[in-house]
Structure 1
Amino acid sequence: MFFGLTIEKLVLIGVIAALLIGPERLPRYAEGLARFAGRAREYMRGAKSRVREEMGPDFDDVDWRKLDPRQYDPRRIIREALLDDTPVAPVRAASVGAAVAATSPAPVERPAFSPADPPPYDAEAT
């Protein structure tokens, strides 16, 4: 299928286009469509050969079906991740706290303000 279109839909689109274009202009439009399809085919062949040249001998080793985005179903991926029976190492809270403390910056000393002091004012910020 071409972008999810069925043959019936393509035939219906073709019949409507033939009626709108008319019998006088239809051969000219069909010829233009054939030229466009030929150029698109040549462009795709050229792109494939350029990719093959740049990837080198690894091009034939790639399983292109595994890279098809249509195979990725988020529901299946989540289901497989939830049903995966690989053991997960337990995380102790003490080790997490130590890791966070080791990576966090040192606390900044802030001056204490009293209600009688005026609030700090930054002339460059306004």
Structure 2
Amino acid sequence: MVGINGYEFIILAIIAVVILGPERLPEYASQLARLVREVRRMATGAREQLREEVGPEIDQVDWRKMDPRQYDPRRIIKEALLDDFDDTAKPAAARPAAPAPAGPGAAPSLAKAPAAPAASRPPAVKPLERLAAGQRAPFDIEAT
């Protein structure tokens, strides 16, 4: 937890005995024990207070998902960009293909494919408006 192994702990205890002396060491040890108990009590109280205020849902939260070390901005941006692409590409792929002509000299059929439901159609795209030669581009004060 702290990263101190057994040998380091023994060395720290020997240094504490030398610096503090055998007469003050029990007093400081009891103060340290009181401090540890107080910190544990405060942590338990904070946990209980949070559980009371938030409710039992706090036990169901997966805290590993909230860990900021797992976020990779490149992955998040890639997923967001591909998600938008997939949303626009799916309705076009869901449309049925036009039937193939019957023979080598046959003209293509003019029969229309059944219309796709309105919910699966991609949203109408406004055509790109070009500026006339010499026309200035519109200026938006709020955008700059």
Ranges in structure 2 where 5+ consecutive residues have no aligned partner: 86-127, 130-137
Task: Report the equivalent of 2:49.
Answer: 50
**TM-score, normalising length from structure 2?**
0.48
Deviation at 1:11, TM superposition (A): 4.2
Residue from 63, 66, 75 that aligns with 1:80? 75
Distance 1:102 1:61, change over 3 A: farther
Aligned residues: 91
User: Structure 1: which 5+ runs fail to align?
Assistant: 96-100, 106-126
Deviation at 1:61, TM superposition (A): 1.2
Map of 1:124 onto structure 2 = none
TM-score (norm 1): 0.54
Residue 22 of structure 2 is matched in structure 1 by: 23
SS at match of 1:24: coil
Partners of 2:48 and 2:63 lie apart in 1 by 15
Specify the structure having the higher radius of gyration (Cα).
Answer: 2
Aligned match for 2:5, one of 4, 7, 13: 7
Residue 88 to residue 67, structure 1, CA distance change in 2 (3 Å): closer
What SS is found at the alignment partner of 2:22? coil
* Counterpart in the other structure of 1:60: 59
CA RMSD of aligned residues (A): 3.3
Which residue is 1:104 aligned to?
141
Give the distance between the partners of 1:58 and 1:103, measured in 2 at CA. Answer: 47
CA distance in 2, matches of 1:102, 1:61: 51
Alpha-carbon separation, structure 2, partners of 1:10 and 1:64: 32
The percent identity for this pair of structures is: 34
Cα distance in 2 between the residues matched to 1:68 and 1:14 = 36
C-alpha change, 1:22 and 1:44, in structure 2 (3 Å) is same
Amino acid aligned to 1:6:
I
- In the alignment, the residues of structure 2 paired with residue 10 and residue 68 of structure 1 have an alpha-carbon distance, to the nearest angstrom, of 31
